[in-house]
Structure 1
Amino acid sequence: MDKAIALIEYITVPCGIRAADKMVKTADVEIMEAQTVCPGKYMVLICGNLSAVNAAIDSGRLEFEENIIDSFILGNPHDSIFTAISGVTDPGEVEALGIIETFSGASIIVAADTAAKTAKVNLIEIRISRGMCGKSYLMMSGEIAAVEASVAAACINASASGMLLDKAVIARPDPKLWEKLL
């Protein structure tokens, strides 16, 4: 369990940029994304080995605790999370489409990890807060039973933190819809 991914969302942009700088100065981590999120929040997504990610996130929390909206650390994340974040996943054979929407970027990545580890699904896209006023969503495909199981497990996870907004499972989505989604 040497690979890890983590995210912290901050209330303000200056705080988020200062925290991102402190995190990369604290440990050898890669910044996957560091950007503003509507409405004026800032998100820092990092990856690296677990001990470095833990150290970086601890430094990003310590000084800026009062400005944190949400955060997570995942040791040994499912490999498909990385391609889904970049939006380059092939959906494969589509029998069903699963969609989950949450109130935060942190909660959608944890939900995606849960979904991918629950059943054999393809994580198609993880949209982290961009263009959604800070909300995030996940799309996955696979066999109907697998998608239903993965959506259910991920929703339990997101509901526990109070971040679940909505979910859907669509059996045999129309090809016209796929053209617009991908």
Structure 2
Amino acid sequence: MSLAIGMVELNSIARGIETCDYMVKAAQIELLRSSTVCPGKFMILIGGDTGDVRASMKEGISRGGECVVDTLLLPNVHPTLIPAMTGTTQVPDYGAVGVLEFYSVAAAITAADKAAKAANVTLMEVHIGFAIGGKGYVTLTGDVGAVRAAVEAASRGSELLVGTTVIPRPDRKLFNSLL
């Protein structure tokens, strides 16, 4: 069984709430997030077995109709991606910090998966859309070489990238504030 993530973003909050109900009833998925995102959109983020996520996404796109503005389906995601999106990551050690910022939530989620697959890093958080103008950003940690490799791999080819940074030796106060 492979793990997948799906997202449907709508330009109507009312239609988004209704669409979410149809999506969770369509298949055995985990509702990772269902909320408004700036500026006035609604996002539904789900996870689970690839087949179930596909079925739920199909229903969501159909029910969302003309209000759907963006979708994402990522099959075979890295196992640390969902904990980073739900705020349940356990960061083992203090290390270098990498940050990737994107104009879109979907781009941030995709980049986090690429980063985790590219190098031995820990995804700290995938921050999505709320109170940051609909943007998304990823924070990760590990050995400085691995962080640089992960940031490079995740940013390669992304048209929606705002910026990146790698902090080789962050102050402990900064590091702890990111947890």
Per the normalisation by structure 1, the TM-score is: 0.90
Write the letter of the residue equivalent to 1:127: H
Deviations 1:71-93 (A, max 9, x none): 21122211111211122323333
For residue 161 of structure 2, what is the aligned residue in structure 1? Answer: 164
Q: 1:2 to 1:93 in 2, by over 3 A?
A: closer
User: What root-mean-square deviation, in Å, do the aligned CA atoms of Structure 1 and Structure 2 show?
Assistant: 1.6
Residue in structure 2 matching 1:174, options 171, 175, 179: 171
- What are structure 2's unaligned runs of at least 5 residues? none
The 2-side partners of 1:174 and 1:79 are apart by: 28
The answer to whether the 8 A contact 1:70-1:104 is kept is no
Write the letter of the residue equivalent to 2:152: A
Deviation at 1:2, TM superposition (A): 2.9
1:79 aligned onto 2:79: yes
The 2-side partners of 1:179 and 1:30 are apart by: 29
The answer to whether the 8 A contact 1:128-1:136 is kept is yes
The 1-side partners of 2:163 and 2:125 are apart by: 16
The answer to whether the 8 A contact 1:91-1:140 is kept is no
For residue 43 of structure 2, what is the aligned residue in structure 1? Answer: 43
Runs of 4+ in 1 over 3 A off after TM superposition: none
Per the normalisation by structure 2, the TM-score is: 0.92
- What are structure 1's unaligned runs of at least 5 residues? none
Identity of aligned residues (%): 40
Aligned residues: 179
Q: 1:3 to 1:90 in 2, by over 3 A?
A: closer
* Bigger mean CA offset, 56-65 vs 142-151: 56-65
For residue 31 of structure 1, what is the aligned residue in structure 2? Answer: 31
